[in-house]
Structure 1
Amino acid sequence: MGISRVSARRYLEHFVMRGAVVARLQYGGAGRPERRYQTV
């Protein structure tokens, strides 16, 4: 993509706050849950 993971996450969280994207947690086996983003 050409941007860092941190920058991508910041952009996605900005879109979540604006209501353009929803985020949900997806739990797998061990470790941290994944944040999945979807457009509204």
Structure 2
Amino acid sequence: MSRRLEPAAEKKPSVSKPTSIPTVDLPNATELNNSYNQPL
């Protein structure tokens, strides 16, 4: 799980760009969105 956090941190900026998010990142982006919704 630690290894997944490493690439996720680098993809965080990419999440801001919808064009950079491929279908494979969709599941990962969903988890990131949940984290962003919590603080919101």
Between Structure 1 and Structure 2, the one with more helix by share is 2
Fold equivalence (TM over 0.5): no
What is the TM-score with the length of structure 2 in the denominator?
A: 0.31
Between Structure 1 and Structure 2, the one with more strand by share is 1
What is the TM-score with the length of structure 1 in the denominator?
A: 0.31
Larger Rg: 1
Indicate the structure whose relative CO is greater, using CA pairs within 8 Å and at least 6 residues apart: 1
